[in-house]
Amino acid sequence: MLKQLRERLLAQGCKATDMDGNCRYKGGNDTQCAVGMFITDEEYDKDMERCANLEALQQDYPKLALWDIAPMGVWNEVQGVHDRAPDTAHRFRKHINAGFNRLDNIYGTTPTVSQEHPS
């Protein structure tokens, strides 16, 4: 799961945001945040964007398939990596790699993309 998220966020190259720069599960230009990448189009409801945090999302949408993939702590960690990412492409890439390298160390997974991956 971490490998897939890292690769997808790096390929996307930016955060998923609305026109005001606020993070969204599903943003403009077909972007998705780390959690939004695991919310299918069939599951997605625009009202999800009103959930202030992932605990509220889980309470309001308990049947999302993503809750069966990883525990809440993991989702909070990957969402934090996304939400704290800088806006510039080069800094975004470095931040995502550093954040996922940290998560790989915490969860004992193998990093799949080098810190110096070209932009």
Asked which of 11-20, 41-50, 102-111 is least confident by mean pLDDT, the reply is 102-111
Measured over the CA atoms of residue 98, residue 87, residue 56 and residue 46, the dihedral's sign is negative
The predicted structure's pLDDT at residue 118: 40
pTM: 0.87
The Cα 119–Cα 108 span in angstroms is 26
DSSP 8-state symbol, 47: G
Which ranges of 45-88 would DSSP assign to H, the alpha helix? 54-60, 72-83
Three-class secondary structure of residue 51 per DSSP: coil
The predicted structure's pLDDT at residue 11: 96
The predicted structure's pLDDT at residue 89: 92
* Helix (H) or strand (E) segment spanning residue 100: helix 89-107
pLDDT greater than 70 at residue 76: yes
